[in-house]
Structure 1
Amino acid sequence: MATPVTATQLTPDNAHTVVDHDPEQLGRRLSKAPSMAKDTVFEKSPGVLKIEAISSVFTHWYLWVLFLFVFLISYCYGLDGTMRYTLQNYALASFDSLAQISTVTVVRSIVAAAGQPVYAKISDFFGRASILFIAVFFYVIGTIVQAASKSVATFSGGAVLYQLGYTGLQLLVEVIIGDSTSLRNRLFFSFIPAAPFLINAWVSGNIVDALYKGAGWEWGIGMWAIIVPVLSLPLFAILMMAKRRAKKDGLLEGIPKQNLLSVSLWLDFANKVDLIGLFLLAATLSLCLLPFTLAAGTASKWRTAPIIVTLVFGFAVALPLFIVWEVKFAHHPILPFRLLRDRTILCGLGIALMLNTCWYTQGDYLYTTLIVAFDKSIIQATRVTNIYSFVSVVIGFTLGAVVRYVRRLKWFIVTGGSLFILAFGLLIRFRGGTSPSDFAGLIGAEVVLGIAGGMLSYPTQALVQAAVKHERMAVITALYLATYSVGSALGNTIAAAIWTNSLPHHLITNLNAAGFTNATELAAAAYGNPFVFVVDYPIGTPERTAVDSAFYEVQRYLCIAGICLSVILFALTFGLRDVRLTDEQSFEDAEEHTLTEKDREAIRAAESNLVVK
């Protein structure tokens, strides 16, 4: 078997002959022109060649400084994300549209799902630093639009642009860590971007409270348009310094030059990004999921033409077109079907999908439930909603240190799946109440949920990354995060469907049962802006008692949906392979499980005739 050329072996003469065994492309080219076999060599993407060359000059000093700057930018967008998750409640409430929070979140999730593959291809094509520039641009523009918005439509538009930026930064730090760490160390270092939650979980509530009572939610969001660009500069600088050193050592010589004004370059990029597939994916998710969040809880709206037509086009037109395009026509499909032959990748993506789907069923309206049903302050409610992130990071770092020596992950993930079910069982029991025991029960449930999350999300990502070669690590990481985002969209859709179709009915029923003649007006006020309602009707008033009871019941429905879905999540954990992690960046035999005998014959035919220039 021919030995692939590595980045450290690059010279000006052989830099174009890096072998990349991709049997889908290899088989396609051989079937079309068998005579090509003797010339078949696959170049690694220029961005991958660059990062391999740059990583080869990383000293321990470079790595620790790099990880420090990764932490800084992660702290920045992590604190912003935590605060913005809370502040958007008040922003939408100010428009009397709090129930549309799921719609905004679903739109963001759809954008994230479609954006991840694009960023992965950009990083492989143009280099990792290119993501940073593009992501910061969208982050700033989106933040400004949201902060200046005066309607739900404008706020949602800003959320789309902001999410494009957030998605890019999130993928960038994960890919950089994957580029520069070994398999056995990756889990520990993968939690560096999540480490800010150890601090933010406790301080974000105070910051949100101070901003809401002072400058307002507009400045609480808008200030990040200044902070994010400033804190991203150090990370950009360290990447440029490493690139300069690699260039000085001659490691970048021979890597294909890219003319950004070349039409053929952009046509090739559009082909590899699969723009048609991305458009169909976004259309499918939008048409299939958004109607459930827009029905607004009334049976009459489900029978309206816009809702019916949208659902029909989503499930009967967009979804089949997406599947047919990806299977039959896409040269570089968003979903690499060959890789799905590996059960670790298939089950890993399933876990990513179900993890966020389950979490958002209980988490989407948790903050509102804490304010109303538990009668908690802004600070207390924000801290409770952050418990999951805090505990999962603590468990994740601990698990990462253990895995460095144990070198196994599967059974930790299986344990996490079982704890997820236990947590939802506790959440069904502790779904509201003003007694200390009710609140303690909720905190205990969120702690168990956080322990489960720490054993599931990043450990599964590490196993999925270990199942592919370095050339496809950015793509598989993007696919994993994209699936995560689709799970967010599904979870938000389920939560919104339950909330909007159940809460108005329960509010009116309870208020009528309590004897209020203006039950419809009271229900509309509690549903549209519960944060004002709880101030007007404190604990102990008949109106508040009736409303609290409605919130208890709907939160119970949400948690029942979550526990049912958690069973699927638990089952998927058993499908992962129990591989032994090594000190390599990736396994030499990665992707072997995805090859058919036809693929192997194609590779052998190409390698037996391989001519290295």
Structure 2
Amino acid sequence: MTFTKPWVKGHTQESPRPQPASSYESSDHDEKAPHDLRTSSSSNEEVVNKEVQEGVQKAEAVTALWTTGSLVIAYLLIFLVFFVNSLQQQITQNLTPYVTSSFSKHALIPITQVVSSLISGVTKLPLAKLIDVWGRPQGFAVTVGLTTMGLVMMAGCNNVQTYAAAQVFYWVGFNGMSYVLDVFMADTSSIRNRALVFAFSTCPYIATTFAGPSAAQRFYQHSTWRWAFGAFTIITPAICLPLIVLFGMKQRQAKKEGLVQPRNSGRTWTQSLIFYYHEFDLLGLLILVAGFTLFLLPFGIASYQSSKWSTPSIITMIILGGCLLLSFPFYEKYISRQSFVPFSLLTDRTVIGACLTAATLFVSFYCWDQYFTSYLQVVHNLSISNAGYVANIYSIGSAFWSVVVAVLIRLTNRFKWLGLSAIPLMLLGVGLLIHFRDPASPICYVIMCQIFIAFAGGTLVITQEIAIMAAASHKDVAVVLALLSVFTGVGQAVGLSISGAIWTNTLLKYLELYLPEGSKAQAATIYASLTTQLEYAVGSPERDAIVRAYGVAQRRLCIAATVVPILAFVWVGMWRDINVKNVKQVKGRVL
């Protein structure tokens, strides 16, 4: 799940070069057929900008070829993909504590996800380059393959190391699939209606919020968690194949009608390898991923070292990671031949503000959410399915509310006021968790907090996406969405690192303090396995000690989650209050 330029009245976003009026997106009353749109001009350049990369040209050509029927079919297939992905995510996330517990590594949940979240976030930049250079269908097919590979590895893993490696493949592919589909929806919608289109993509969570946890419990009770992953190794590629075929057919049609001309680079294989090495800036990608990983990973693993934070390897990782992160901007400016993001976007305050808002939101979310289902099962004695229902209030609430926010953006043509109004609600919801996520508090108050956070989160996610896209031209939409994903990935990793550090340095300590004398020797075993924690009967001295320790850890997690969103006031304040009605980006048949 999933976690934006000076205030100039009447600002319009200009395209990278002057375009004929007929090449812009159709207005609300323009019902001209795609064929008429293409042949009404003297050349195909009114539909396809020949100066942009080939993948963007293909996207513009395909947009001009959509008929109403084929576009409806495409969106129905996209909805089906999002539905299956959300169902699969709901099932596997509810089973993840049992996967790590089966290896006696329950506390390693965030550590197994820190690297995967970083890599999945940062790799959106080369993925953006891939779909801009090669095309949207090719990029989508690659991400489907990576997702399937990760699911296969998770279904067959026999240790936490293999599971962690599988998480990297899975999250790079899973988040990549959503990203490519977001770019496609941006290609086929006006900026004014794009919030509605993006809100549409979250609607499957309304249904899978209930179906996913129930299915997870059935897998756990009547089969194994392995089959929960294994089933989707077949379902996911089967559902995605029709969409890949439809995309591919439209690209071939564009080539046949001459809207996209094949390019002959004249390069040899060796020259092509060197060219794409620089084009995708592989060394820069490696520096960025290694820097974030080395800097953030110690926060989750330090407590497992004999000397804790004074362990030489921990100190070395933090210093080396920090040096790599500091060297990255210098490498991009002075050494790299091809930077990921145009410098003008990196200095745009709307883009910067949207990215920092996304990072802040994800840091806060993963501080309070990471051990939430475990907390509900241990402290409130809920089943897997019921714990999933409560935890998924955020998903269903934000999915529902994002539609309301999209309508408000469509009616007012503004988004900044919505972002500013959501931050106090976010602070209220997360702040109340400090008090109510306590073993003595009724579950209904926890649910109330979830609703507040869901409405605020749904608002901020939609508005930050619209803000960053409104600040860019069409040729840069894929790049700015990738940049936003980098910050969400980093925010997720930071949140996971913080939650992992708090959890590992709190729970075991207080288990050893609260457990009865005869059970203190079992503290490490209890700490390492959710299954073991649930084996103690409710009301027993051991279970009461576990519940008290959970209460202390959860309170600290919620305090961390409350402090972070205060920064969002500054980040949203940086957004330009753009009138989306005046922004013209895409061409052809659009929503």
Do Structure 1 and Structure 2 share a fold, with TM-score over 0.5?
A: yes
Contact 2:19 2:46 in 1 (8 A): no
| 1:265 CA displacement | 3.5
Task: State the SS of the aligned residue for 2:574.
Answer: coil
Separation of aligned partners in 2, 1:149 and 1:78: 22
Show CA shifts across 1:373-418 (max 9, x none).
2221111111112111110010001221222121111011111111
Separation of aligned partners in 1, 2:378 and 2:103: 19
Separation of aligned partners in 2, 1:476 and 1:222: 34
Report the CA distance shift for 1:331/1:199 in structure 2 as closer, same or farther (over 3 A): same
Structure with larger RCO (C-alpha < 8 A, sep 6+) = 2
| 1:518 CA displacement | 3.3
Separation of aligned partners in 1, 2:560 and 2:481: 28
Separation of aligned partners in 2, 1:530 and 1:140: 28
Q: Which residue identity is paired with 1:167?
A: N
Task: State the SS of the aligned residue for 1:223.
Answer: helix
Separation of aligned partners in 1, 2:521 and 2:508: 9
Task: State the SS of the aligned residue for 2:307.
Answer: helix
Contact 2:209 2:396 in 1 (8 A): yes
Task: Give the structure 1 partner of residue 301 of structure 2.
Answer: 294
| 1:246 CA displacement | 2.7
Show CA shifts across 1:534-588 (max 9, x none).
22x2221111111111111110000101111010123321221111112755299
| 1:9 CA displacement | 7.5
Separation of aligned partners in 2, 1:264 and 1:545: 66
Separation of aligned partners in 2, 1:452 and 1:301: 37
Q: Which residue identity is paired with 2:369?
A: G
Separation of aligned partners in 2, 1:471 and 1:307: 42
1:194 to 202, 208, 217: 202
Contact 1:102 1:496 in 2 (8 A): yes
Separation of aligned partners in 2, 1:281 and 1:493: 17
Task: Give the structure 1 partner of residue 18 of structure 2.
Answer: 3
Task: Give the structure 1 partner of residue 107 of structure 2.
Answer: 99
Separation of aligned partners in 1, 2:559 and 2:475: 42
Report the CA distance shift for 1:430/1:257 in structure 2 as closer, same or farther (over 3 A): farther
Report the CA distance shift for 1:270/1:445 in structure 2 as closer, same or farther (over 3 A): same
Task: Give the structure 1 partner of residue 534 of structure 2.
Answer: 534
Contact 2:47 2:61 in 1 (8 A): no
Q: Which runs of 5+ in 2 are unaligned?
A: 1-15, 25-36
Separation of aligned partners in 1, 2:239 and 2:586: 35
Percent pairwise identity = 29
Corresponding position: 1:495 with 2:499: yes
| 1:134 CA displacement | 0.9
Corresponding position: 1:278 with 2:277: no
Q: Which residue identity is paired with 2:400?
A: V
| 1:247 CA displacement | 3.4
1:401 to 403, 407, 419: 407
Task: Give the structure 2 partner of residue 185 of structure 1.
Answer: 193
| 1:12 CA displacement | 12
Task: Give the structure 1 partner of residue 31 of structure 2.
Answer: none
1:137 to 135, 138, 145: 145
Task: Give the structure 2 partner of residue 602 of structure 1.
Answer: none
Separation of aligned partners in 1, 2:17 and 2:319: 52
Task: Give the structure 2 partner of residue 349 of structure 1.
Answer: 355
Alignment of 1:100-139 (within 5 A): 100-139=108-147
Contact 2:199 2:462 in 1 (8 A): yes
Task: Give the structure 2 partner of residue 472 of structure 1.
Answer: 476
| 1:330 CA displacement | 2.2
Task: State the SS of the aligned residue for 1:296.
Answer: helix
Contact 1:142 1:161 in 2 (8 A): yes
Show CA shifts across 1:189-228 (max 9, x none).
0123322101111111110000001111001011111011
Separation of aligned partners in 2, 1:334 and 1:584: 24
Show CA shifts across 1:147-196 (max 9, x none).
10000001111111112211220111100000000011000101233221
| 1:264 CA displacement | 3.3
Q: Which residue identity is paired with 1:427?
A: L
Corresponding position: 1:256 with 2:263: yes
Q: Which runs of 5+ in 1 are unaligned?
A: 20-41, 589-613
| 1:258 CA displacement | 6.5
Report the CA distance shift for 1:113/1:2 in structure 2 as closer, same or farther (over 3 A): closer
Report the CA distance shift for 1:587/1:147 in structure 2 as closer, same or farther (over 3 A): closer
Corresponding position: 1:558 with 2:557: yes
Task: Give the structure 2 partner of residue 578 of structure 1.
Answer: 577
Q: Which residue identity is paired with 2:257?
A: D
Contact 2:48 2:61 in 1 (8 A): no
Q: Which residue identity is paired with 1:154?
A: T
Q: Which residue identity is paired with 1:394?
A: F
Task: Give the structure 1 partner of residue 459 of structure 2.
Answer: 455
1:445 to 438, 449, 455: 449
Task: Give the structure 2 partner of residue 516 of structure 1.
Answer: 517
Task: Give the structure 1 partner of residue 394 of structure 2.
Answer: 388
| 1:14 CA displacement | 8.0
Task: Give the structure 2 partner of residue 567 of structure 1.
Answer: 566
Report the CA distance shift for 1:18/1:249 in structure 2 as closer, same or farther (over 3 A): closer
| 1:364 CA displacement | 0.8
Contact 2:126 2:340 in 1 (8 A): no
Contact 2:420 2:572 in 1 (8 A): yes
Separation of aligned partners in 2, 1:392 and 1:465: 20
The count of corresponding residues between Structure 1 and Structure 2 is 557
Show CA shifts across 1:212-267 (max 9, x none).
01111001011111011100112112212322433343322x35256897443443
Contact 1:4 1:18 in 2 (8 A): no
Report the CA distance shift for 1:528/1:326 in structure 2 as closer, same or farther (over 3 A): same
Report the CA distance shift for 1:295/1:517 in structure 2 as closer, same or farther (over 3 A): same
Separation of aligned partners in 1, 2:212 and 2:299: 31
Separation of aligned partners in 2, 1:4 and 1:449: 43
Separation of aligned partners in 1, 2:586 and 2:349: 16
Task: Give the structure 1 partner of residue 157 of structure 2.
Answer: 149
Q: Name whichever of 320-329 and 479-488 sits farther off.
A: 320-329
Separation of aligned partners in 1, 2:265 and 2:418: 44
Task: Give the structure 2 partner of residue 611 of structure 1.
Answer: none
Show CA shifts across 1:502-561 (max 9, x none).
1111111122xxx4233131x2232111332222x2221111111111111110000101
| 1:18 CA displacement | 8.0
Task: Give the structure 1 partner of residue 275 of structure 2.
Answer: 268
Separation of aligned partners in 1, 2:484 and 2:170: 20
Contact 2:332 2:339 in 1 (8 A): yes
Task: State the SS of the aligned residue for 2:556.
Answer: helix
